[in-house]
Structure 1
Amino acid sequence: MKEANAKRILFLATLDVTIYSFLIPHMKILKSMGYEVEVAASNVGFTDKIEKEGFKVYNLPFRRNPFSISNIKAFLKLYRIMKENNYLMLHTHTPVASFLGRIAGRLVGIPHIVYTAHGFHFHEYGNPLKNFIYYRLEKFAGKFTDVLITINVDDYKVATEKKLIPHGKVVYIKGVGVDLERLNPRNFKDNKESDFLSDNNRFIFVSVGRLEKEKHFDYLIKAFYFVKKHYPNFELLVIGDGEEQVSLKKLSQRISLKDYV
C-alpha cells in the first residue's frame, strides 16, 4: 500500500449538483490552506462549473436509486481512482456515494474518512421495512467512518444513541434551520414591501426545494387546495427546479389552482 499524499483530499457525492450547491466554500478553504482538493460525482450538468472554480472532477456513473447496476460500476471506478491517488482524506456526502465510498476508502486504506449526513433515510415517520434497511446500511458503513458530521440535533442524537460510528466520533455542526431573529422585521429600519407584497390583503406561502418525487410538493399543493377553499386571499409560491415541475403545474391546473400557485 502506497503512503498517503499528505495534501490530497477527495470530496465525494452521488451527484455533482450537491458539490456545486453546498461544498465549494469548504473546498476553497482547504485549498487556501495548501491542500489539493478533488471531486468525484455523477455529472448532471455542474461539472464544468466546479472545474471553473479550480477543482478536478472525476465523473462516476452514480445513480440515486441504490439498486441501480450503475452504482457497481461507479464503485469499481472510484476504487481505482482512490488507489491511484493516495488521498489523505475522503469526505463523503449523500447516501449512495457515502455508503459505497466509505467501503472503497477503507479497502484502499485512506487514513481519514469523514461522512456528512444531510439527513438519515430512516426516521420515525418512515416505512418500517425501509427504516430497517437504511438503518442497517448506515450501521454497517459506520464501521468504516472516522468522523460523522451531523447537521441537525435529531440526527446527532440518533447517531450517538445508536452508536452508528463505533470506532470514530460524531460531531454536530449547525447546518439546518432558520435564525428567526435575523429575519425579525423589527431588526430592519427600512422595511419597505416589494411590489409583489404591496397588497396587504394577500398572504403568500413560500416553499423552496428540488421539484422531485421524494420532496412531495404534490402533498403541499393538495393541502393548499383545502386552505384556499377557506381563505381565498392565500397564495402559494413554489421555488425550485426538477423533473416534477411539469406534473406539479398540471396538478395545480387540475384542481383549479393555476392562478394561485
Structure 2
Amino acid sequence: MVKIAHVCTSSLSHKILVDKLALLKKRNYDIHLISSEEGYNEKLMQNYDFKLRFIYMNRQIHIIDDVISIFRMTKLFRKEKYHIVHTHTAKAGIIGRIAGRLAGVPVVIHTSHGLPFYEGQSKKKYHTYRFLEKVGALFCDAIASQNKEDIEKIKKYAPRKPVYYEGNGVDLRRLDEENKNISDEQIKILKSRLGISNDKKVILVGARFEPVKDHFFLLEGIKHLKEYQNESDFICLLAGDGPLKEQIQQKIEDYHLSNEVKMIGFQTDIYAYIKMADLIVLTSEKEGVPRIIMEAMAFSKPIVATDVLGTRELVVHGETGLLVKYKNVESLASSIHVLLNDEGKRKEFGNNGRRRIEENFTEEIVVERIVKMYQELLQVE
C-alpha cells in the first residue's frame, strides 16, 4: 500500500482536504494528515479515519521556528517511511518539501491553492513570496495547481518541474445529504435566532477576516446598496473569523450598517446558512478555487463575486452568477441589487451553477487527476 503524508500549515485547512483524502483512502492509499494543532476541529475529524500528526509551524516567516519545524518533520518522515509527501498551503509547502528531501522521501509534491504572490501586493512581499516558491520548487518532484491561470506562472519560476492541473471540487453526495437533512423548520428557527424576518433577503459571505478577502470593499458595496435599494429589505451575514475582525466590526458601525450586516463568527457547519441564503457574495482580491462558492453552487445558489484569479474559473458571468471588477463599488452594489430583486434570475443562475459543479468540480474528478499524477511520479522512481 502506498503511504502518503499530506501536510498543511494548520488544522484550519483540514476542512478543504478531508473529502478528497477520504476518496483517496478508498483507492487503497494509506493517508496521514500532518499539520500544526492550531484550529483543530475534533467534531469535523470524527467523521474521518486518518492518522493525524501535529507539528508546530509558524504561519509567519521565523527562521528559528522554521528550522525546528523542518527538523521535527524530517524525523517524522524518516520514521514513517512515506512513499509520497504531498504539501499544501504556503508555509507547509516550504517546510514539508525541504523535510521530504532531507528524509529521502521518494516523491515530494506540492499543490498550490492559489500562489502566495500576486499583483497588488507590495513589491517586497511579492518578490519575497515568489523567491520562497522558487526555493520550494528545488525540493520537490512536481507542482500541482488548483486553478489553470497559475500554471503558466508556476512554469516560469519552476521551469524544470512537471506542473499538473489538479483543480478543486466538492463531495456532491455528502452535500446533497447535508441539504436534505436541513428542514424548513430548522431554517425558520435559525432565522428567528438571528432576528431575521421572513421578508428580508439573506446575503451570505463566508470568508476568513484577512486582507485578501477584502471585507472592506464588501462593506463599501453594502453601504452603497443600502442607498440603491432605498429600503433595508436585506441582511448580509459575515461568517468567519480572523485578524481583521475588530476592524471590520468598526467599519460596520462607521458605515451605520448594524441593521444590515451581522457578524456570525466562524461556523463549523455552514450548510444551514448556505441553504437559508438567497445570494452568496465573495469580494476577494484573488482565490485558489473558492470552496464556499463551490458549495453554494452545489446548493443551487446564485453568486456575485469579484472577477479575479480562481473565482472566474468557477463562476461564469451571466450564467451562474455575476462577476464584478475588483474594487468597483458601483458594480458590486448594482449586481447584488439586480439579483436580490429578480427571483427568476436567482433560480436560473442557481440551477446553472449546480450543473457546472456536477460536470467540472467534484472531488471524484479531482481525485482521478491526483491518482494519475501519483502513478506517473511513482513510475519515475
Is the 8 Å Cα contact of residues 145 and 165 (structure 1) preserved in structure 2?
Answer: no
> Which secondary structure does the structure 1 equivalent of 2:153 belong to?
helix
Change (3 A) 1:34 1:23: same
State the shift of 1:118 in Å: 0.6
What does residue 319 of structure 2 align with?
Answer: none
> Which secondary structure does the structure 2 equivalent of 1:36 belong to?
strand
State the shift of 1:68 in Å: 6.7
User: C-alpha deviations, 1:151-196, integer Å up to 9, x for none?
Assistant: 1121112112x14252x311113328xxxxxxxxxxxxxxxxx997
Equivalent residue pairs, number = 235
What does residue 91 of structure 2 align with?
Answer: 96
| Residue identity matched to 1:75 | I
Change (3 A) 1:259 1:197: closer
What does residue 238 of structure 1 align with?
Answer: 237
What does residue 22 of structure 2 align with?
Answer: 28
What does residue 219 of structure 1 align with?
Answer: 217
What does residue 256 of structure 1 align with?
Answer: 256
For 1:92-241, what aligned pairs fall within 5 Å after superposition?
92-160=87-155, 162-164=156-158, 166=160, 168-175=161-168, 199=199, 205-233=203-231, 235=234, 237-241=236-240
Change (3 A) 1:247 1:124: closer
Q: Which runs of 5+ in 1 are unaligned?
A: 1-5, 177-193
Change (3 A) 1:7 1:173: closer
Q: Distance in 2 between matches of 1:36 and 1:204?
A: 42
Of Structure 1 and Structure 2, the greater helix share is in 2
Is the 8 Å Cα contact of residues 33 and 50 (structure 2) preserved in structure 1?
Answer: yes
> Which secondary structure does the structure 1 equivalent of 2:105 belong to?
coil
Change (3 A) 1:37 1:165: farther
What does residue 348 of structure 2 align with?
Answer: none
Name whichever of 47-56 and 216-225 sits farther off.
47-56
Is the 8 Å Cα contact of residues 61 and 71 (structure 1) preserved in structure 2?
Answer: no
- Asked which structure has the greater RCO (Cα within 8 Å, sep 6+), the reply is 2
| Residue identity matched to 2:5 | L
> Which secondary structure does the structure 1 equivalent of 2:143 belong to?
strand
> Which secondary structure does the structure 2 equivalent of 1:12 belong to?
strand
Is the 8 Å Cα contact of residues 252 and 258 (structure 1) preserved in structure 2?
Answer: yes
User: C-alpha deviations, 1:65-89, integer Å up to 9, x for none?
Assistant: 1237433322221111011111100
Is the 8 Å Cα contact of residues 14 and 62 (structure 1) preserved in structure 2?
Answer: yes
Q: Distance in 1 between matches of 2:235 and 2:216?
A: 12
> Which secondary structure does the structure 2 equivalent of 1:210 belong to?
coil
Q: Distance in 2 between matches of 1:219 and 1:52?
A: 36
Q: Distance in 1 between matches of 2:150 and 2:71?
A: 30
Percent of pairs with identical residues: 22
What does residue 186 of structure 1 align with?
Answer: none
Deviating above 6 A after TM superposition, structure 1's stretches of 4 or more consecutive aligned residues are: 194-198
| Residue identity matched to 2:239 | G
Is the 8 Å Cα contact of residues 148 and 165 (structure 1) preserved in structure 2?
Answer: no
> Which secondary structure does the structure 2 equivalent of 1:145 belong to?
coil
Q: Distance in 1 between matches of 2:51 and 2:252?
A: 42
Q: Distance in 2 between matches of 1:248 and 1:241?
A: 11
Q: Distance in 2 between matches of 1:15 and 1:122?
A: 20
Is the 8 Å Cα contact of residues 8 and 92 (structure 2) preserved in structure 1?
Answer: yes
Q: Distance in 2 between matches of 1:203 and 1:31?
A: 41
RMSD: 2.7
Q: Distance in 1 between matches of 2:90 and 2:71?
A: 17
